Amino acid sequence: MGFFTFVKLMMTLVDLLIFLSGTTIMALGLWVSLDRGTYLRLLGPFPDRALEFLNVGYYCIATGGVMVLLGLVGFCGAQKQSKCLLLGFFSIILIIFITQLAAAAVLLYYSADAADILTEWLKYMYGMDTMITNIWNTTMTKMNCCGFFNYTDFLGSRFEAQNQGNLPPSCCMTDIGPCSRAEAERRQVKGCYEVILQSLTYHGNIVGGILVSIEGLEVNMQNTKQSTF
């Protein structure tokens, strides 16, 4: 495989990843916007914040749509080696970067509310609501974590009261038998928030390194193959 073929393949893979990510984000936004009944029920303990969080759906639709467009433009630019399309590709990347900065500011503003909502789910709805219980069980099992911050999120919860003071098995890293408060304290299983942040940081560094490498290859390709464009 030649150098330019490799660069073209890498750009195609990145464009495909962007396209699929945009489709997923747009689908999430459509779910939030169209299935308002379920979303409002999940935000039941915080009715004053419900409408504000519904606006996230519109943001996801817009962001997902831009990412889908970006993936298509980048793919066409890579295949046709079009300078105009590649310029549009990098322009949209810049727009998305600026948008992500704005989104980060919004997430920072709402981070405390999100933590409150998730811990309220654990206190009052885990074990009572099938959907929320399944979501948390899947998350805790797959990521080997317990609660949002840690096992203390379940202390005083309805689940603990209805299970003779026991906590979910994930808080003791076991699939069988009861998980007592003392055992959970001894095990000190990490909260899902910490685990997710670590995972995002790790994979973000990998993806960032790959993207920087691809950008370097693209610049090199532009410098050594000016006649192509």
pLDDT of residue 22: 82
Distance spanning both ends of the chain, measured CA to CA: 21
Q: How many residues does the chain have?
A: 229
Query: At 179, phi and psi to the nearest 5?
Result: -115, 105
Give the pLDDT of the chain (229 residues) as one tens digit per residue: 555 666 667 777 777 877 888 888 888 788 767 766 555 555 555 445 555 555 667 777 887 888 788 778 777 776 776 666 666 666 666 666 676 666 666 666 666 666 777 788 888 889 888 888 988 898 898 889 999 899 999 999 999 999 999 999 999 987 767 899 999 999 999 998 888 777 766 655 565 555 556 555 555 555 554 444 4
The residues spanned by each domain of the chain are 1-110, 126-224
Q: Nearest-CA neighbor of 65 among 107, 99, 111?
A: 99
Tokens linked to 200? 């995002």
